[in-house]
């Protein structure tokens, strides 16, 4: 998934390829155009590509929460974790995902945000008759926020059925919420989805296994703008743009610690500013925190 997003961003945003070559029979690059065969039959609808892009973005948002290594501890070779070390790792979101890969996940999320901004600058959605279309990014927060709540509900159903998975419901819910709450509007939409679950109708749908997803866009069409409107404002720092709350806790701890060893949360610049002490690795970080707690 990360490679697909980077590939699409390189071709669509950086290299400005808006369509595939006529000789390309595999249609591997999203075109957002109806693709027809030699007989004029549509073999792929442009709106399908728009749905695929939004699906990729949603996967990027939750890549930490859906990675089983998120729920595995960072373990030093030949040294079992103490209870204190396990607690510290949980507090700072230090886990089995390597540092370099953690940075890459943030970077890819930033690319995903930029891809959606590029799409909005080049294409618009045409709604079916009787339906008012909105700019594609206008309903991004409701879509992703609701999807995050769907994931938590699905995990709850699995736990009720006796399927434990790699983590408990509370740990999974915490990761889903940290995946969303650092980005504008998504925490409100997630909480709104929670409120809507309190109705009798929603509870009945849940019990019947109706977990419909909110971005099918049936009957919609996508067409290109004749000019770039609105202007695509490119993201200049993909890493910073893609950090969620869990990442902010992790990188704050990695770059600088509070005197009492507590980590900060949030996505603000203040939360990520380095202190006098820089920590260069997960193992050094864990050792430093344990020493501070013992002082």
Q: Which residue has the higher pLDDT, 284 or 143?
A: 143
**pLDDT per residue as tens digits for the range 184-219:** 888 888 888 777 776 666 666 666 655 555 556 667
Grade residue 138 by pLDDT with cuts at 50, 70 and 90. low
pLDDT band at 111 (very low <50, low <70, confident <90, very high): very high
How far is 9 from 116, CA to CA, in rounded Å?
A: 10
Percent of the chain at pLDDT > 70 equals 68
Instruction: Count other Cβ atoms within 10 Å, centred on residue 269.
Output: 8
Confidence class of residue 286 from pLDDT cuts 50, 70 and 90?
A: low
What confidence score (pLDDT) does residue 276 get? Answer: 38
% of the chain with per-residue pLDDT over 90? 24
List residues bridging with 124 in a β-sheet.
223
Of the pLDDT bands very low, low, confident and very high (cuts 50, 70, 90), residue 281 is: low
User: Cis omega before residue 230 (within 30°)?
Assistant: yes
Residue pLDDT, tens place only, 15-47: 876 554 444 544 567 888 888 888 888 888 888
Rounded to whole angstroms, the Cα distance separating 209 from 198 reads 16
Mean pLDDT of 63-88: 81
Q: Has residue 100 got a pLDDT over 80? A: yes
Q: Per-residue DSSP letters for 158-195?
A: HHHTT--TTS-HHHHHHHHHHHHTTSTTHHHHHHHHHH
pLDDT per residue as tens digits for the range 257-266: 433 333 333 3
Q: What is the pLDDT of residues 145-168, one digit of tens each?
A: 888 888 998 898 899 999 989 999
Q: How far is CA 126 from CA 14, 93, 135, in A?
A: 26, 42, 10
Six token digits for residue 129:
């008759």
Compute the average pLDDT of residues 83-98: 84
Q: How high is the pLDDT of residue 214?
A: 54
Mean of pLDDT values over 118-123: 86
The mean pLDDT of the chain is 76
Contacts of residue 209, defined as CB under 8 A and 6 or more positions apart, other chains included, come to 157
* pTM, 2 dp: 0.78
Strands 42-44 and 123-126: unpaired
How many Cβ atoms from other residues are within 10 Å of residue 123's Cβ? 19
**Least confident among 18-22, 116-120, 134-138, 173-177:** 18-22
């Amino acid at each position: 998934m990360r490679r697909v997003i980077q590939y699409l961003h390189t071709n669509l945003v950086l290299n400005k390829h808006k369509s595939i070559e006529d000789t390309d029979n595999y249609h591997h690059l999203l075109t957002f155009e109806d693709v027809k065969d030699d007989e004029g039959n549509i073999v792929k609808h442009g709106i399908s590509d728009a749905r695929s892009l939004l699906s990729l973005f949603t996967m990027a948002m939750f890549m930490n929460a859906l990675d089983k290594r998120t729920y595995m501890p960072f373990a030093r070779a030949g040294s079992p974790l103490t209870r204190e070390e396990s607690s510290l790792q949980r507090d700072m979101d230090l886990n089995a995902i390597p540092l370099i890969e953690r940075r890459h996940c943030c970077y890819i999320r930033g690319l995903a945000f930029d891809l959606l901004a590029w799409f909005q600058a080049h294409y618009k959605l045409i709604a079916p008759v009787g339906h008012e279309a909105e700019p594609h990014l206008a309903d991004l927060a409701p879509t992703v926020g609701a999807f995050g709540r769907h994931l938590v509900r699905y995990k709850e159903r699995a736990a009720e059925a006796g399927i434990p998975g790699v983590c408990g419901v509370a740990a999974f819910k915490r990761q889903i919420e940290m995946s969303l709450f650092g980005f504008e509007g998504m925490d409100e939409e997630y909480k709104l989805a929670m409120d809507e679950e309190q109705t009798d109708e929603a509870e009945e749908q849940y019990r019947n296994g109706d977990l419909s997803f909110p971005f099918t866009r049936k009957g919609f069409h996508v067409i290109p703008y004749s000019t770039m409107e609105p202007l695509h404002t490119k993201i200049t720092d993909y890493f910073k743009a893609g950090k969620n709350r869990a990442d902010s806790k992790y990188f704050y701890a990695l770059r600088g610690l509070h005197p009492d060893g507590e980590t900060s949360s949030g996505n603000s610049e203040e939360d990520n500013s380095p202190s006098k002490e820089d920590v260069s690795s997960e193992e050094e970080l864990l050792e430093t925190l344990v020493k501070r707690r013992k002082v």
